[in-house]
Amino acid sequence: MNDTWIQPDWPAPARVKALTTTRTGGVSKAPYDTLNLGTHVGDDPSRVADNRGILRQALPGEPRWLNQVHGTTVVDAAVGDGVPDADAAFTRESCRVCVVMTADCLPVLLCDRAGNVVAAAHAGWRGLFDGVIEATVAAMGVPPGQLLAWLGPAIGPDAFEVGGEVRAAFMGHDPASGAAFRPSPNQHKWLADIYLLARQRLIRAGVTGIHGGDACTVSDPARFFSYRRDGATGRMASLIWLA
């Protein structure tokens, strides 16, 4: 395994395996350098295939890749084939790999404390607002209090500038979400803490074992791709499976 990849620091059962890739260790050229795993960003398809091959060496099976659409659809990674339009996947079967790709959006990995079910969710602000976390928790089919969550690398609270309509939408759903926004130096803009927004949604859904949430993709160009920072860029993957 690439020693720059991130392994979640959380009290997951031994059979739960998870990792997040970084931008290093692949073969893609700038601006996708080097371990770009996204097929939809303009990179040379043969290089993306080689990068996925590098990743595959660390996994027990081919990941269930998704066509992420900033929605709330959750699929069973062990059912069907192809690349479904979805933003989350779960599984109860060993060696079935759930995966989401990000380059500023928030990857959320989940497992139950008994080690019987795992899930991965892609939570940009739209999916987060619409309920992708709640949909994923529901699809896992266990009491939320039995779940653990890990928040992977995402745009940090000093970099995520949004319009007032985003703040108003979240506060309309839950006034407490106002704590996740502070005025930006740019007039009429706000800085949003996507980690806090996700924690609030997880807690409201009944998940209290929450870990991670301490990285910023924008401010760490050596490790992370960032769409907000670079525009044309690659994608990292956050993956989880049962051994």
Q: Do the domain assignments include residue 84?
A: yes
Q: In what order do the strands lie in the sheet with 181-183?
A: 161-163, 189-192, 181-183
Q: Do the domain assignments include residue 180?
A: no
What's the pLDDT at 24? 97
Q: Do the domain assignments include residue 169?
A: no
What's the pLDDT at 233? 98
Is residue 204 within 8 A of residue 137, CB to CB? The reply is no
Give me the CATH number covering residue 234: 3.60.140.10
Overall number of domains in the chain:
1
Task: Reduce the DSSP state of residue 161 to 3 states and report it.
Answer: strand
CA dihedral 38→40→41→47, nearest 10 degrees, is 50
Domain that holds residue 26: 16-157+198-242
| pTM, 2 dp | 0.97
Q: Do the domain assignments include residue 203?
A: yes
Per-10-residue mean pLDDT for the chain, 243 residues long? 93 98 98 97 98 98 97 97 96 98 98 98 98 98 98 98 97 96 94 98 98 97 97 98 98
80-137 residue pLDDT tens: 989 999 999 999 999 999 999 999 999 999 999 999 999 999 999 999 999 999 999 9
Is residue 122 within 8 A of residue 88, CB to CB? The reply is yes
What's the pLDDT at 3? 87
Q: Do the domain assignments include residue 22?
A: yes
Q: Do the domain assignments include residue 191?
A: no
Q: Do the domain assignments include residue 101?
A: yes
Q: Do the domain assignments include residue 53?
A: yes
What's the pLDDT at 2? 86
**Measured distance CA(240)–CA(7) in Å, rounded:** 10
